[in-house]
């Protein structure tokens, strides 16, 4: 009479293979999530959440930002093995000094934002779009270029961009150009700089201090509208983006990837 199940020895071999695969993956992540990481733009919001999450994973974290007081406060909130160093990513000399102080790196996360470049295309100031590139694109590229000198060959760079790179919305053409420029470089850099891994996380509407300068009624209306239309039916949190960054830092088989953390905004 035929046996209803495969021989036990075959199952044992199969389970052993799966267990070995899981153990190998775990060891790969353990090796990736070790050493020193710099989070530039790490004194608040998304950057601070990234720093905190990776510090809890055992990485030695260095946060960088322009304001000494904000950096000090963020370091106090984060505690643990977190260091704080001043950097003005718009100043080449400041960027060089930052990485000299930081020393060798396993990973680099660049979380530098900007505000300029939005508006209806017919009346959009191209000077403002240029300033948007100066605010976000060039500082991110400068930081990556200088940081590369200190980055381990087994390490990674993760850019924080924005979902406006692919957003189909009136008034977002300038932002699409700014963030799309960063995202377009990711696959090319992943090949050129291999075996270092180059990725990006592209956040949607995230409730961070960035919104503090937006008039309260405008913010409230926009958030309510986003909650109603996003498939996720909520506003993003900095921790949502931090979780995606942890995945990219820890997964040594991911490179040239742009992870969208937008609550499904690209779908509606």
Q: What residue ranges do the domains of the chain occupy?
A: 32-267
How confident is the model at residue 115, as a pLDDT?
A: 83
How confident is the model at residue 33, as a pLDDT?
A: 73
How confident is the model at residue 22, as a pLDDT?
A: 57
How confident is the model at residue 4, as a pLDDT?
A: 54
Length of the chain: 268
Query: Among residues of the chain, what percentage have pLDDT more than 90?
Result: 77
pLDDT digits (tens, 9 = 90+) for 15-54: 455 555 455 566 666 667 779 999 999 999 999 999 999 9
CA angle 188, 183, 160 (to 5 degrees): 120
How confident is the model at residue 72, as a pLDDT?
A: 95
Name the average pLDDT for the chain.
90
For the full predicted model, state whether its pTM sits above 0.85. Answer: yes
CATH number of 32-267: 3.40.50.720
The model's confidence at residue 114, banded by pLDDT at 50, 70 and 90, is confident
DSSP 236: B
CA-to-CA distance for 173 and 153, rounded, in angstroms?
36
CA-to-CA distance for 251 and 156, rounded, in angstroms?
10
CA-to-CA distance for 99 and 106, rounded, in angstroms?
13
CA-to-CA distance for 18 and 84, rounded, in angstroms?
42
pLDDT digits (tens, 9 = 90+) for 161-208: 999 998 888 899 999 999 999 999 999 999 999 999 999 999 999 999
CA-to-CA distance for 106 and 148, rounded, in angstroms?
10
How confident is the model at residue 167, as a pLDDT?
A: 84
How confident is the model at residue 206, as a pLDDT?
A: 96
Token code pair at residue 148: 């590369």
How confident is the model at residue 217, as a pLDDT?
A: 87
Backbone angles phi, psi at 98, to 5 degrees: -60, -50
């Amino acid at each position: 009479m035929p046996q209803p199940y495969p021989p036990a020895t075959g199952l044992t071999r199969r389970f052993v293979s799966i267990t070995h695969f899981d153990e190998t993956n775990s060891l790969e992540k353990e090796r990736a999530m070790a050493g020193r990481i710099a989070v530039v733009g790490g004194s608040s919001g998304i950057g601070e959440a990234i720093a905190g999450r990776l510090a809890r994973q055992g990485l030695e974290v260095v946060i960088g930002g322009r304001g000494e007081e904000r950096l000090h406060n963020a370091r106090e909130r984060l505690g643990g093995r977190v260091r704080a160093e001043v950097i003005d990513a718009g100043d080449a000399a400041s960027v060089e000094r930052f990485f000299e102080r930081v020393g060798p790196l396993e990973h680099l996360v660049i979380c530098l934002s900007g505000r300029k470049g939005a508006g209806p295309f017919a009346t959009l100031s191209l000077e403002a779009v240029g300033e948007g590139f100066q605010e976000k694109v060039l500082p991110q590229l400068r930081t990556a270029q200088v940081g590369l000198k200190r980055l381990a060959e087994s390490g990674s760079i993760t850019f924080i961009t924005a979902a406006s790179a692919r957003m189909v919305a009136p008034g977002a053409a300038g932002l699409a150009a700014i963030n799309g420029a960063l995202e377009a470089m990711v696959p090319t850099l992943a090949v050129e700089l291999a075996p270092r891994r180059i990725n990006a996380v592209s956040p949607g509407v995230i409730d961070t201090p960035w919104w503090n300068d937006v008039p309260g009624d405008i913010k409230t209306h926009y958030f309510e509208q986003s909650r109603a239309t996003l498939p996720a039916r909520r506003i993003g949190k900095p921790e949502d983006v931090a979780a995606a960054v942890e995945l990219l830092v820890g997964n040594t088989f991911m490179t040239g990837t742009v992870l969208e953390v937008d609550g499904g905004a690209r779908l509606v």
